[in-house]
Amino acid sequence: MSDDYKKYLEPEVVSKLKGMDLKARLVVEGFIAGMHKSPYHGFSVEFAEHRQYMPGDNISDIDWKVYAKSDRYYIKQYEEETNLKAYLLLDCSKSMAYTSDEKRVHKLDYAGMLSGALSYMLLKQRDAVGIVTFDEKIRQYIPPRSKKGHLHVLLNEIAKQTPSESTDISNALHEMAERIKRRGLIILMSDLLDEPDKILSGLKHFRYNNHEVIVFHILDPRERDFAFSKEAIFKDMETGEEITTLPYQIKKDFATQVQEFSDKIATTCRASNIDYVPIDTSMPFDKALYAFLSKRARLV
């Protein structure tokens, strides 16, 4: 089998495609094409939009076009029949605009493309999916639905996001934990550049309400290793504060602090049965999609 599918898992390749719908579809198709070569086993991506007619079902729900092709009775799937309600929480604060290399996508681009792919996958699996965009407050909340046309609504919302305003992750998490009543799957995509204790409090609020949670911690590679080669001015994208430094002088301490920060989030998440997935914007999308499928499989 050709390895052409691999290119559609690369963020830089996908970012050049036109339209969020095409990006989402090709990422998922590329992922599925590569699954048989994966070291991960036991996952299933079964796309279906109908189920077989059973005695007692409403005859008006039969899809007669499918019957004409297959000579079998199938029922159209409706939202109340979905397996899961999923909520994509997308951080759109200014810090998500950062990239250390103009050839690399910024964090919000990466998170947006991953959100699109997950929306496509969830809806094809007959799950209901909604999206929440936020910065220092909730920007938009589109409740979960499983109708086929809902994908277009979600992808349009994702595509129009631009990073702005400062971050208040905790506020968004607590507000949505109060608003979402039915148990579901919460998928947070953020660089988590906020007070860790407040973030963890918000995540625990979801667990207290019996939701399942997966956190994709999305950073630029240089935010993890600080591997800059020359003196530079570093500017806080949210406060505007600037500092001039020689990166090699603080590289080790910086990397250590980032690792300690990530470890604290990861350890507390594990203790609360929250899936924590560290991602950087140079990574192919398959790691995140495998993590999602692993979580989804445990909820079946």
How much is the pLDDT for 273?
Answer: 95
Q: Where are the domains of the chain?
A: 50-76, 80-299
Query: Are the beta carbons of 295 and 86 closer than 8 angstroms?
Result: no
Helix (H) or strand (E) holding 89: strand 85-91
How much is the pLDDT for 258?
Answer: 82
Phi, psi of 51 (to 5 degrees): -135, 160
Single-letter residue type at 72 = R
The model's confidence at residue 57, banded by pLDDT at 50, 70 and 90, is low
170 CB-near residues (< 8 Å, 6+ apart): 194, 195, 198, 199, 201, 202
**199-233 tens-digit pLDDT:** 999 999 999 999 999 999 999 988 887 666 666 56
Strands 138-145 and 232-235: unpaired
Of the listed ranges 44-58, 151-165, 264-278, 284-298, the one predicted with least confidence = 44-58
Q: Which residue has the tokens 């603080």?
A: 250
Residue 176's alpha-carbon distances to 66, 214, 237, in angstroms, are 39, 15, 26
Pick among 3.40.50.410, 3.30.70.260, 1.20.1440.230, 3.90.1300.10: CATH of 80-299: 3.40.50.410
The predicted model gives 180-208 an average pLDDT of 95
